[in-house]
Amino acid sequence: MPIDQPPSEDDRTLDARIRQMVDDIERGDDEAPELAAPVDEPEGQAAFGAASGRGIETAVRDILTEIGEDPEREGLLRTPERMHRMWLELTCGYRVDPDRLINGAVFDVGYSEMVVIKGIPFYSLCEHHMLPFFGTAAVGYLPRGRVIGLSKIPRVVEMYARRLQVQERMTQQVADFLQQRLNPYGVGVVIEAEHLCMAMRGVQKGGATMVTSSVLGTFRTSKETRDEFMAHLERAVPRA
């Protein structure tokens, strides 16, 4: 689509969809839309890249041709458009504003025991083959008089998961984010995931999982703190 061509209705719909996904990560149901801070966006309809061109669709057509398919056959006619939408959704984490995500939900509380949230599901894309990897994250921190709203930690995981990633970096990013924003005594993050780039191609070993961890502050320097964190992860989740 030429740069000076007005965005179509489909483009505007996609822009709105990506904006909604970013909003959901940043604040979800924590506040009414009318109370949310306004977002400074570039002029025009292409603020989120949905209407900025058709590079993804052109590339998908080229790929289909390269593998011996016919991009014009009935079943593939709208595949480039679908891929365009899918890639913008799966990578919307690049567009999340960390300040809007936190939105002041850091509170001074006289609580100094460990806080742990585990079993946080996520889906991400391996940057090497752009195939999914997915699993769960566990996050713990030892407050230094400041705690973060419960829903914010899963959203931090989501923000980094919806990017092209390697699991090791994603684990470190979540830990660094909380360490910088809360200044706790320490942070621990453990992520366990299955990678389709290993299950579907290469060694083709489905069911194998990868575990990564990042420990900062007292989670690194104190064996007692680290052991307490790991003990929390081993406990069964209570059933309702």
For residue 1, tell me if it sits in a domain.
no
- Count how many residues are written for the chain: 240
> Do 195 and 109 share a domain, yes or no?
yes
Q: Residue range 50-71: average pLDDT?
A: 87
First-to-last alpha carbon distance for the chain, in angstroms, is 53
Whether pLDDT at 232 is above 70: yes
Does 131 lie in the same domain as 85?
A: no
Same domain, 113 and 216: yes
Q: Assess whether 226 and 109 both reside in one domain.
A: yes
Q: Residues 126, 72: one domain?
A: no
List, in order, residues 6 or more apart from 88 with CB less than 8 Å away: 14, 18, 48, 49, 50, 56
Q: Please tell me the distance from the alpha carbon of residue 118 to that of residue 139, in angstroms, as a whole number.
A: 6
Give 205 or 145, the one with higher predicted confidence.
145
Note whether 80 and 123 are same-domain residues.
Answer: no
**Nearest Cα residue to 100 out of 175, 162, 42, 23:** 23
For residue 200, pLDDT beyond 80: yes
pLDDT at 55 over 70: yes
Per-residue model confidence (pLDDT) at position 37: 42
Global confidence as pTM: 0.83
Do both 144 and 64 map to the same domain?
no
Neighbouring residues of 99: CB distance < 8 A, sequence distance ≥ 6: none
| Together in a domain, 40 and 137 | no
212/122 same-domain check: yes
pLDDT of residue 202: 82
Reading the block at residue 107, the tokens are 């509170």
Q: What value does the mean pLDDT take over residues 57-79? A: 96
Predicted confidence (pLDDT) per residue in 76-94, tens digit = 999 999 999 999 999 999 9
CB atoms within 10 A of CB 88: 20
Distance between CA atoms of residues 187 and 184, nearest Å: 7
For the cut 90, the answer to whether the pLDDT of residue 187 exceeds it is yes
Tokens standing for residue 26: 């940043």
Is a pLDDT exceeding 70 seen at residue 30? no
Contact 25, 162 (CB under 8 A): yes
In this predicted structure, what is the pLDDT of residue 27? 75
Lowest mean pLDDT among 37-41, 170-174, 231-235: 37-41
Whether residue 41 is predicted with pLDDT greater than 60 in this model: the reply is no
- Total of domains in the chain: 2
The pLDDT, as a whole number, for residue 184 is 96
- Is 120 domain-assigned? yes
Domain around 49: 9-98
pLDDT confidence of residue 76: 96
Statement to judge: residues 155 and 89 lie in one domain = no
Per-residue model confidence (pLDDT) at position 56: 92
Residues 147-163 have pLDDT tens digits of 999 999 999 999 999 99
- Both 78 and 124 in a single domain? no
Q: Are residues 66 and 111 in the same domain?
A: no
